[in-house]
Structure 1
């Protein structure tokens, strides 16, 4: 089956990669991508473009040509295999440039439009008689064997038809287009296809495929994770911009990138274990439409719509639209979630060098508060995992609006400026009666009635340039950022109510109106802001060495506390810090790289003690070394990493009052991580990981020294396999499954209780049937087939049981 390569500047980097096995024929690019087949002279009126493309593999040279000329290139998958381009430097029209690149190859170019070109093999020389044999029916002779495939190279991660598990590029590590193999950091990618195969709809469903990442229970349904042993807080990143206190919907997420280790050099205040960055879908000029309906256990229903395509005939204005609606009960008592998510977007490219992007996201979620199950003795209490201790009938509501506007301009082929602003506003209505602490088998409970308002704004600017000095190539990034987030609870009613028995709960009626009439006794405010300047330079030292260096200076201000002096007054803390990073990558072969790095990070103080005492800013230092590989022309990637990470001024949840924190001095995390992803054969795809992480409190004044950090297992890992049948009889059928395992995890910093290790089995089956230009996919997932019981932990009071055996089916229509 031929695979058509589609190289387009808007995808930033689309490296054409030949598929496995033998491929025949050179046709149908126009059919696959709806490109006009009428040949158009491209030279007439074309302007010269400055090119700088060294001699290299033809596939990579075509990527550079596309990026520098903004011309689409279409060709059959194996056409460029084993060929090398001629070098090209200087000002040429796109047609002359392409002829020069192909001069020493058996390939020729045919322009089918002003900005579209098709590559094909040169016709063999005519026989001596001067005539070329032509079939009586050339159309029939060609069409007999033509099969059009929508296969997409791994280097085009934004394409909705991309079925690859591997990714060769990730912007999170350096905020530039540097390939993962050249970056001296550990960055892992969970592509859209993995999330689709696992029917993921929450962020936790995606990151379970990454080494060293564990979910931590966060009451209220907000995403929270442990990365390399350290709590990342209720913070994620969206296209490199910090967001806090959100529950991410994956409807418009193209991929999830996890950057391991301290990231302050580019992202400011970031927890040192690493950060999770979701990369959203962008409008595309190629039409694509999808409608999916999921249904499953516990009254689970989810509808999702995905549409993108051109608005104008020239494709310069394109749109995207994502929608999801979730209506689901739960294996937990009294739990029901209703969620609506919308994300319209526009992309406008008035000229080739300038692009504007606008996205609006709206989320409205209605769900009860869930305090989880308390610990009893040194384990989570042995009660049914469905049992709730919060009051039935109470529901929180969260409404979130985000506006993201950014634009970029290419001054020339080497210099680019990007500027953007992201504004986010969240309004939360709190109607909670939650578990606060446990004494014996009695659970004390409190009301929390009121409102919480969170407003966030980020403004950033980045200048990225490439140049040479004395034979050394530079890829430079200069940036500035302003970030502000303010959270206010203008008046909450926090009052004790009756206790409830852990083993024999009896719910008494609660007069909601009476509580609402009480005087607000809690007015909380938290305001964080910082300004920063940062720089980075990646130096190409010959063909094999890449030196990365950079730093960031932050000026940070934090104001937090309660307006009521009877609790404690509001204080303001100010600090500044310089965070450096240095790394070196050595590539002894195209498929192998070895790297090492040293990095420091900075964080402002986190929370307060129960007495109102603010904590000192947190800092961290990490040493890391690793090996990366990229095989089968980028369709399979792997990495092995060793790291040693130390964090100072560490704080963690106060075991005696979970609404506050305690300082524990210094902690260390060190270990080894292993990740693989991609295709092993034509039909077999894999994503897997393993982590061995030792954590410990190394300095403390309250008896915690030597204790393991909470929620972080010593051993953890997973493997997910999928086989796409290639035979005609079974073609379209996919079968797969995965195992997810973790060692013992402690539930608090005192290691007073734990959850033993577990192994969970998931299974998957799907059938994809072509209906003309439309495909219909029927899919079934069985999660936790063995009905294994384990918990995502938080404290002795709050521990969330994992979902038992769950069945999810879906129908997906794509056009």
Structure 2
């Protein structure tokens, strides 16, 4: 029974099971001409579907300022609102017809009730109006609401979130640019505003808006990150805070070695600035790039996308996920990507197939098991780029390829990731995992070595080598939280084991007669058949490499004074060994190194208000490049790095726009750079120092406007050296770099579904080598996009067009030495059609 009494302003409802609800409102809720319509009271619906043992304390006071853990899958909106009422204890009033035929967005994670309801209503075109902290009315998004009889409802103030929130990054329909939590910096799920380090996240929404195909398409949205020279797209490597990341990146916190990445299965990209050895072992001190992959969902979701564009570019991606069993204890996800494309570089191409099936088995509310498999088969061409003449890249067409037409680089990768977690209770959790990664390489190509004194003839060496590399990682973590003497602790105890075995590789690595004229190239001076015969019968390249380490670590995150003070402290001890050998005659006895090192980290963060955090940290780390090759065949001593950092973080516009600014001072010993005599080898320069300021901003300033802004000042120089490089700048590091990206979505207008975006990316002049003998010119690049989404028979259809380097700016991505400078993409167009349901 619903009793509508305008004077008493009371609502009562009695259910068949005897449960009664009675509410009294002391102020006006809404004033439509009700006639025979009824208001649906969601607390009552929730009571209908709840088991008898569930007691709904509707009279309890809602703690609007506190966060609540929600777990509501995408479903019929009325059912979702019923579940929301159970979990939030809010009273939600709306006309019954307003929710008919609508479907909620999934809601999982810790939210304040106001923000949780806003997230639940994404895509429904409904708004939530809070009458008081316990009572909510729903209405269609409009300046005024009109019922069927023509009476106008009084417009109430829109909901306003007054504190930080946590969004669900796993929601495939999430369009937010802001991610509130990250686990990369601490290996625990911690709000970024409470983490005293610089951690930046590029969410899936940004990747979709910019049609991210390669990792560098995503890292351009983070300050102080530059692409390294990688022979085209042979593997992933970046310069962060002035230092190269080497050939390593991380996948869900586990180290990956020397390979290119597919982005179709990524949920977000997290970049941790500064040394991270305390948690991850041997790692470059500038920072690390961590790929966070998509996980199986308990609600069905399907996506099919076809992309096409310049240089015969075609890419097909599939994303399917959902429950396998009715009780949703067994979930699956399947990602597929096929890429076929030529390049603006002559002869260069890329042909890739990628598969990533995964399963999640929820044995109970406390125990979960995950099994992931990845397979990639790729054929492409390693690209040495173009040489320098004088102090600038040679003035030849960017399309000119200086290898041979028969060149091919084939790589096959396989990965198995098994992990499981068990929650002993609400405070303690154990996690254990194993990752196996196998890579098979087959190179048939040339690389540039040096330009002769006539500034025309380029010397080249063939590279016909087969190699297998296999890595194993095992890890275990115990996390828990507890209180002592007014202090709240979140502790982490863990350990890991990593091994890398590069099987004995042999092939051809020299042929001085192989040259080419860079202004008038004539191909065919190198014969594949004769070189391949030499590779089999008379190889002149032999190489082995093995690494192994054990590490144990601890960490304590302490907060007190009403969560205003946060202290981070911890350390890691590593036992590491490496062996490697290089020979032009036969396999030599490997040289071995054994090292032990303790890497501490401490940080302090003060959060005087919800929107502001002030932080500082000190870190030491053990480096990772001790496996590099020298011309003598001897391995290098381990790197040691030290960093001091201080910064400010903010959350504005109700937590939807985040920003950070940081100053750091970072030193590193035993820096490895290309050997000036032979660039395939490395030399240790002694010590390098990098200091600078970084600014990052991303998020929404309104429902229509999304923004990303970055800036980095980086002063990275050689501070100790026995050669003439003392005081020189490090290669591929611009002193100034930055970007601005903005997108406008038409909301609640006749153009609803239409979006426009544009971005500007810039970098100042960069040194091309450690001798600072030539420079890569600075550049300013402009990108743009347009997209339109519509609903077609219950399916979301999105068409999109991206234009990168809109003004066709000639610039260069990176260099390795004066013989190898990689040109960047000219004007490139990518179109796409995507179906989601």
For the superposition of Structure 1 and Structure 2, which TM-score range results when normalised by the shorter chain?
0.7 to 0.9
Which residue, out of 510, 515, 521, partners 1:505?
521
Q: How far apart are 1:101 and its partner, in Å?
A: 7.2
1:480-559 aligned at under 5 Å gives the runs 480-496=495-511, 497-508=513-524, 510-518=526-534, 519-543=538-562, 544-559=564-579
2 CA distance for matches of 1:24 and 1:456? 67
2:807 matched to 1:795?
Answer: no
Task: Verify the 8 A CA contact 2:515 2:525 in the aligned structure 1.
Answer: no
Aligned pair in 2 of structure 1 residues 525, 55: CA closer, same or farther (>3 Å)?
farther
Residue 656 of structure 1 and its aligned partner are, at CA, apart by 2.3
Are residues 245 and 584 of structure 1, via their aligned partners in 2, closer, same or farther at CA, if it must alter by over 3 Å? same
Pick aligned residue for 1:468 from 466, 478, 483 = 483
What is the Cα deviation at residue 47 of structure 1? 12
Sort the Cα spacing of 1:768 and 1:242 in 2 relative to 1 into closer, same or farther, 3 A. same
Aligned to 2:313: 300
Distance 2:405 2:411 in 1: 18
Question: Which one of 808, 812, 830 corresponds to residue 808 of structure 1?
Answer: 830
| SS of residue in 2 equivalent to 1:205 | helix
Q: Which residue of 2 aligns with 1:582?
A: 602
Instruction: Give CA-to-partner distance per residue, 1:566-598, whole Å, 9 cap, x none.
Output: 786421111010000000000000111000000
Contact 2:73–2:299 (8 Å) recurs in 1: no
The answer on whether the counterparts of 1:154 and 1:166 sit within 8 Å (CA) in structure 2 is: no
1:714-793 correspondence to structure 2 within 5 Å: 714-791=735-812, 792-793=814-815
- Name the structure 2 match of 1:31: none
Match for residue 51 of structure 1? Answer: none
Q: 1:24 to 1:396 in 2, by over 3 A?
A: farther
Residues 223 and 247, structure 1, Cα contact 8 Å, conserved in 2? yes
Taking a change above 3 Å as real, the CA distance of residues 509 and 337 of structure 1, as seen in their structure-2 partners, is same
Alignment match, 1:599: 619
| Distance (whole Å) between structure 1 residues aligned to residue 210 and residue 200 of structure 2 | 18
Q: Deviations over 1:393-448 (max 9, x none)?
A: 22111100111111001000000001000100011111112222222232222222
Contact 2:582 2:633 in 1 (8 A): no
How much has 1:377 moved relative to structure 2?
1.0
1:38 is displaced (CA, Å) by 8.2
SS at match of 2:632: coil
Are 1:458 and 2:468 counterparts?
no
Q: Quote the offset at 1:106 in angstroms.
A: 5.2
Structure 2 residue ranges without an equivalent (≥5): 1-29, 33-43, 95-106, 118-127, 133-145, 154-164
Question: 2: distance between equivalents of 1:345 and 1:39?
Answer: 36
| Cα deviation code 1:291-312 (max 9, x no counterpart) | 1111111111111111111111
Q: Which TM-score applies when normalising by structure 1?
A: 0.85
Which residue of the other structure, out of 193, 202, 206, is the alignment partner of 1:181? 193
Task: Work out whether residues 288 and 814 of structure 1, in 8 Å CA contact, stay in contact via their aligned partners in 2.
Answer: yes
**Aligned position for 1:447:** 462
Please name the residue that 1:318 is paired with.
Answer: 331
Q: Give the alignment of 1:679-694 within 5 angstroms.
A: 679-694=700-715
CA separation of 1:57/1:689 partners in 2, compared to 1, >3 Å: closer, same or farther?
A: farther
SS of the residue 1:515 aligns to: helix
The answer on 1:354 being equivalent to 2:367 is yes
- Taking a change above 3 Å as real, the CA distance of residues 423 and 139 of structure 1, as seen in their structure-2 partners, is farther
CA shift digits 1:581-635 (9 cap, x unpaired): 0000000001110000000010252413212232211000000000001123321
Preserved contact between residue 46 and residue 85 of structure 2 (Cα < 8 Å): no
Q: Confirm or deny that 1:58 pairs with 2:57.
A: no
Please tell me whether the aligned partners of residues 62 and 88 of structure 2 are also in contact (alpha carbons under 8 angstroms): no
The 2-side partners of 1:235 and 1:356 are apart by 27
Correspondence for 1:20: none
Question: Which digits, 9 at most, give the CA deviation of each residue in 1:133-158, with x for residues without a partner?
Answer: xxxxx99789x99xxxxxxx861011
Distance of aligned partners of 1:385 and 1:453 in 2 relative to their CA distance in 1, 3 Å threshold: same
Tell me, in whole angstroms, the C-alpha distance in 2 between the residues paired with 1:122 and 1:300: 50
Deviation at 1:509, TM superposition (A): 5.0
Could you tell me which residue of structure 1 aligns to residue 99 of structure 2? none
Q: In 2, distance between residues paired with 1:429 and 1:536?
A: 42
> What is the alpha-carbon distance in structure 2 between the residues aligned to residue 176 and residue 325 of structure 1?
34
Q: How does 1:370-389 map to 2 (within 5 A)?
A: 370-389=383-402
Per the alignment, residue 214 of structure 1 pairs with: 226
CA–CA distance in structure 2, aligned partners of residues 55 and 790 of structure 1:
61
Shift of 1:108: 9.8
Partners of 2:595 and 2:216 in 1: CA distance: 33
Cα 1:107–1:776 change in 2 (3 A) is closer
Structure 2 counterpart SS, 1:58:
coil
- The Cα offsets for residues 439-486 of structure 1, whole Å up to 9 and x where unpaired, read as 223222222223111101100000000001111100000001000111
Is the 2:229–2:816 contact (alpha carbons within 8 Å) kept by the matching residues of 1?
A: yes
The answer to whether structure 1 residue 617 and structure 2 residue 633 are counterparts is no
Match runs of 1:636-715 below 5 Å? 636-715=657-736
Task: Say if 1:490 and 1:697 are closer, same or farther in 2 by CA, change over 3 A.
Answer: closer
Aligned length: 733
3-state SS in 1 of match to 2:671: strand
Distance change >3 Å, CA 123–CA 717, structure 1 → 2? closer
Cα shift readout 1:206-257 (whole Å, capped 9, x = no counterpart): 0010000000111162111100000101111000000010101101001000
Deviation at 1:788, TM superposition (A): 0.8
C-alpha contact 1:735 1:764 (8 A) present in aligned 2 = yes
Query: What secondary structure sits across from 2:698 in the alignment?
Result: strand
Is the 8 Å Cα contact of residues 707 and 751 (structure 1) preserved in structure 2?
yes
Q: Is the Cα–Cα contact under 8 Å of residues 154 and 162 in structure 1 kept in the other structure?
A: no
User: Which of 204, 208, 215 is residue 192 of structure 1 equivalent to?
Assistant: 204
1:625-640 equivalence runs, <5 A: 625-640=646-661
Partner of 1:633, secondary structure, is: coil
In the alignment, the residues of structure 2 paired with residue 302 and residue 59 of structure 1 have an alpha-carbon distance, to the nearest angstrom, of: 46
The answer as to whether partners of 2:759 and 2:784 remain within 8 angstroms in 1 is yes
RMSD: 3.3
2-side partners of 1:255 and 1:691: how far apart? 22
How far, CA to CA, are the matches of 2:404 and 2:55 in structure 1? 70
**Residue 214 of structure 2 aligns with which residue?**
202
Q: What does 1:133-172 align with in structure 2 at a 5 Å threshold?
A: 155-172=167-184
- Contact kept in structure 2, 1:676 and 1:689, CA below 8 Å: yes
Q: Kindly indicate whether the alpha-carbon contact (under 8 Å) linking 2:46 and 2:86 is maintained by their aligned counterparts in 1.
A: no
Q: What is the DSSP-based 3-state SS (H/G/I as helix, E as strand, rest coil) of the residue aligned with 1:505?
A: coil
TM-score by structure 2 length? 0.83
Partner of 2:629: 608
Relative to structure 1, the CA distance from residue 99 to residue 399 in structure 2 (aligned partners, 3 Å threshold; closer, same or farther) is closer
State the alpha-carbon separation in 2 of the partners of residues 56 and 559 from structure 1. 62
Distance 2:720 2:323 in 1: 59
Aligned residues of 2:543 and 2:587 also touching (Cα < 8 A):
no
Q: 1:372-451 to 2 correspondence within 5 Å?
A: 372-440=385-453, 441-451=456-466
CA distance in 1, matches of 2:785, 2:129: 41
CA contact (8 A) 2:592 2:635 kept: no
Deviation at 1:37, TM superposition (A): 7.3
- C-alpha contact 2:545 2:627 (8 A) present in aligned 1: no
Q: Is the 8 A contact 1:562 1:569 kept in 2?
A: no
Q: Is the 8 A contact 1:99 1:108 kept in 2?
A: no
SS of residue in 1 equivalent to 2:185: coil
